[in-house]
Amino acid sequence: MNIPFLEAWRKRHGGGRAPSAVERDAEGVADMLAECDLLRSRVQEFGVRLDDTPRSLEAIDQLLPRWRDDPEELPWLGNDAGLYLGTVIVRTVAGAHWYLTPGGHPVVRLVSGREIHVVEAGLDWAISGSPELSQIYAEAAEG
């Protein structure tokens, strides 16, 4: 529907579309996605500290996957692993940023335009251990 005054307002405020939550508060959204409380508590039991570095992804990859014994916890831990992977990429790969799909799923978008569906990757890792989180990071760092 074409509503002239609404179209004029949109043009004055962001070129025709409302800014997304990520665009309005990128730092706040990034901090929220970085919480990963379940993952942090589980890896702390093994003496691993999550410091938002690629090295911490390598340490997570080396853990014994005891979470696979708990079918209720498995998807939550995989979700956290994916969000943590995304956090490390966004904080260490130049130009990488969070993007919410139209369905509201957080993905990481690289400068090249490539999107990494980090939650799906985290779930795959939690279920099967493959691909490793550090491997996905390395591919993202290459572009």
Report domain extents, the chain: 20-142
Residue-wise DSSP of 120-142: HHHHHHHHH--S-HHHHHHHHHH
For 59, the token pair is 């340490």
For 30, the token pair is 């990034």
Looking at residue 61, what is its pLDDT?
96
Query: What's this model's pTM, rounded to 2 decimal places?
Result: 0.83
Looking at residue 95, what is its pLDDT?
96
Nearest to 44, CA basis, from 32, 30, 56, 27: 56
Looking at residue 3, what is its pLDDT?
46
Residue-wise DSSP of 33-80: HT--HHHHHHHHTTT----SSHHHHHHHHTS--GGGG-TTTHHHHHHH
Query: What are the pLDDT tens digits along the chain (143 aa)?
Result: 444 544 554 555 555 555 555 667 778 878 888 899 999 999 999 999 999 999 999 999 999 898 899 999 999 999 999 999 999 999 999 999 999 999 889 999 999 999 999 999 999 999 999 999 999 999 999 97
Looking at residue 15, what is its pLDDT?
53
Return d(Cα 117, Cα 55) in angstroms, integer. Answer: 21
* Domain spanning 20-142, CATH class: mainly alpha
